[in-house]
Amino acid sequence: MSPSDLKQAQEDVAKLIMSLEGFRSHAYLDSTGIKTIGYGSTRDLKGHSIRLYATCTKEEAKSYLEYHLKKYVFPQLEKLDLPPKIYVAVCSLIYNVGSLGLQIKKVLTEKKWDELPECFLSYDKINGLESEGLKNRRLKEIAYFTT
């Protein structure tokens, strides 16, 4: 991906995540019990966990999101040459789950794009139980790179 395509893809990552997460100005516990705020952020700009009674503006929430993407998400894909839409969807997945498993890494490395939807759908569980919310999110991420 060219530098300008990468820049555009990274901007699209933030837009996709913001649309999937929605904005919450007050901290809350997500479905796994993790303190979260803004657009699904679990850390502030100093890398500290979100405090349960914290608040933020949309601008602060976007800063938290961008910080997290630059520090934790984008570096995981630096060595992979992915098409822009797949890059965006995979970044969204990483933002949501933290890191990728071996199977999806293999699919990405070998560019087996037809196997990617199945890999995404394997990330639809919370504590071993299928989550309708995560399944819907995975389907939206899949739709992003297949349409």
The token pair at 36 is 């979260």
CA 120 to chain centroid: 12
pLDDT 10s digits, 119-143:
999 999 988 899 999 999 999 999 9
Report residues of the chain scoring pLDDT below 50.
none
Check residue 48 and report its DSSP letter.
Answer: P
Instruction: Output the pLDDT for position 36.
Output: 96
Instruction: Output the pLDDT for position 69.
Output: 96
Instruction: Output the pLDDT for position 32.
Output: 87
Q: Which CATH class is domain 3-21+61-146?
A: mainly alpha
